[in-house]
Structure 1
């Protein structure tokens, strides 16, 4: 992420993400997501797409409505400059282990949903015989 910082930050395709999590201000903090109480962001998914040389389709459900800035800006396909044609598109969905919380705004109560992890989405008719995790 550090080596490609300028490429990521200057890429016009990623400008909507800049609205949600400004790389210019917080990029160093994003790199440190591997410590306790730190979180990953879209910048990590962008870096992953570049590292794996694969398109990543990012899904953010419309739990907070379709007018929500996260829904509008995060739902996109990350396409690195070089994509290995042998690899299929990876689909990742932002998700949460918590129900939407209710907050009071003025006289009315609103619900907000915040993500806290990602899950892979796979086609239901694909049978996976063996899964190999490499760390």
Structure 2
């Protein structure tokens, strides 16, 4: 693993441990349900109801088998494809989302760099690499 990859992994780990990742996830889920996410959830409920109506044994089957059958029905109905498109367009590709993640990670990186202990560790690591 290169030193750049190690630094990126360390930043990701710091981001998760700081709680910012969980907060971002909660905010994104709230935004998702406040927009078209509700429509997708309703479509999914209707699909499950239809599948159970067509095959009532789904209610008594082993959980894993029922889940697999319902997942297949969901994929055939294009609900998952629509959900992915919505998530991609309204969240992952949104400038606000990218800006927020960059801002959070940038602030964490700056904080880490300005920490005297981390600066000393970084300098020591740099010295060792040069030897």
Q: TM-score, normalised by structure 2?
A: 0.20
Higher relative CO (Cα under 8 Å, sequence separation at least 6) belongs to 2
Query: Rg bigger for which structure?
Result: 2
Structure with bigger helix share is: 2
| TM value normalised by structure 1 | 0.20
Counting strand residues as a fraction of each chain, which structure ranks higher?
1
